[in-house]
Amino acid sequence: MSDVVLAFSGGLDTSYCLLYLRAECGMRVHTVTVDTGGFTPEEKTAIERRAHELGAASHTTLDGTTPLYEHCLRYLVFGNVLRYGTYPLSVSAERAIQARLIAQHARQLGARALAHGSTGAGNDQIRFDAAWNILAPELEILTPIRDGNVTREQALAYLHAHGVALEHERPPYSINRGIWGTTVGGRQTLTSHEPLPDDAFPTPITAHGTTRLTLHFIRGELVGFDGTLYDHPFHAIAALEETAAPWGVGRGIHVGDTIVGTKGRVGFQAAAAHLTIAAHHALEKHTLTKWQLLLKEHLALWYGQLLHEGMFEEPALRAVEAFFERTQRTVTGDVIVQLSPKRFEIEGVISPHDLMHARFGRYGEQATDWSAADVRGFARIAAEQLRIFHTINGETV
C-alpha cells in the first residue's frame, strides 16, 4: 500500500477524500490538520476523532500559528496589505503556510503522494498544487473531488453508502476561521447585490456606544493594547480580535478576481486585521519618509497579488519582505483608535520618531526651517521642465 498525506479539515470534502483514497485506491491515508488559529481544542479533538473513524492510518495536528505570523502575517502588516483595499488575505496566508507544513510532514513520513479536497472552481486548488509542485516535486498530487467533479450530494451519498453519517442539510453559511480573519460564504454571496445578514457573521454585535483602544507597536509589530503587552504579536492579534469583534468592525464583502479567472464574492470578519493595518499605516505616515511610503504602496500591491495567486514561494517576495522589514526600524509608538458599532476611527499617534515636529514648521501656518526666498527658488526649479515644455509647445498639445 502507498502512503498519502491528506490535508484534512474534517468536513464533507476531506472526509470523502479520506474514504475514497483508502477504499477505492487502496492507500494508507495519513491526515494532517494545520491549526492557524481557527480551531478550538474541542474542534481539533473532533477532527482527529473523525479521521480515525474514517480509517486514517495516522492523524497529526500541526501548530501553524507561529509560522503563519513569522513568515507571512508580519509582512502583511508591514506592507498594510489589503486586497483591492478591502480584504486582508486571510485564507491566502493560511494556505501558504499549511501547504509548507504539510509538504514537510509528507517528506518526513516518506509518503508517495499528497492530497487535498479542493474543488475545481476555487483558488485553493491552485495554492496547494503550486506550492507542492515546488516544495515536494517528487510527490504525486491527488485531488479526488476535483478529478471526479464530485458534487456535495454525491459525496454525501458515497459516505452514507459506507456507513458514515453526516448532516444531510447544507449549513446556511460556509465558514473558514483564522487568526487574520473569518470568511463567510452563503446564498447571498453567490449574487452580486445581496448583503449578508448580521447573523451570518460568527461574532454578534453586542457592544454599544463608543470606546477607545490604544494600540502599541514596536518596530512595526503589534505588541499589545491598552497597557497590556503580550509575549508574541500573534497573541496580541488574537486578544485584539476578541476585544474588537463584538463591535462589528472589520466586516465587509470582498469582490475579487479568482486565480482561475472568475469573479467571486465573499463576506469576512477581520476586526484585528483591519484595526492593526489601519493603526500601523497611521503610525507609518508619521514616522516614514514619503518615498518609503510610496515605494511600500507599490510593493504591497505585488506582495498581495503574488500571495493571493499561490506564488508564496516566489523569491521576489523574500526581497519585498526584506525591504518591508528595513522600513520598520522607526515604526514604534502608540495609536489611539475609537470604536463604535460597525466603524472605527484613528484619532492620533504618539511616537518618539514622529516626523511631524514643530521645530521644522507648522503646516499651513508658519515656516521655521526655510525662508520665503528658499521656497520661491524651489518652486521655480520644480516647475522648470514644465515651463520649458509649455513655452515651446504653447497650446498645441
Residues 6+ apart with CB under 8 A from 15: 50, 54, 155, 159, 164, 166
What's the pLDDT at 172? 85
What's the pLDDT at 339? 98
10 Å Cβ neighbour count for 238?
16
Q: What average pLDDT does the chain have?
A: 95
Query: pLDDT (tens digit, 9 = 90+) per residue, 148-176?
Result: 999 999 999 999 999 988 765 567 899 99
Q: What is the pTM of this model?
A: 0.94
Using 50, 70 and 90 to split pLDDT, how confident is the model at 179? very high
Residues of CATH 3.40.50.620 domain(s) within the chain?
3-170
Using 50, 70 and 90 to split pLDDT, how confident is the model at 368? confident
Across the range 40-45, mean pLDDT stands at 95
**3-class state of residue 182 by DSSP:** strand
Task: Say which CATH topology domain 174-288+331-350 has.
Answer: Argininosuccinate synthetase, chain A, domain 2 (3.90.1260)
Which residues are bridge partners to 173 per DSSP? 186
Say which CATH superfamily domain 3-170 falls into: HUPs (3.40.50.620)
What's the pLDDT at 397? 64
Contact 21, 115 (CB under 8 A): yes
Taking each continuous run of H as one helix and of E as one strand, the counts in the chain are 14, 14
Across the range 71-100, mean pLDDT stands at 97
Reading the block at residue 91, the C-alpha cell is 485564507
Across the range 65-94, mean pLDDT stands at 97
What's the pLDDT at 394? 87
Q: DSSP E strands: which ranges in the chain?
A: 3-7, 28-35, 58-63, 113-115, 140-142, 173-176, 182-186, 211-218, 221-225, 228-229, 251-257, 263-269, 333-340, 343-350
**3-class state of residue 371 by DSSP:** coil
Residues of CATH 3.90.1260.10 domain(s) within the chain?
174-288+331-350
Across the range 307-317, mean pLDDT stands at 97
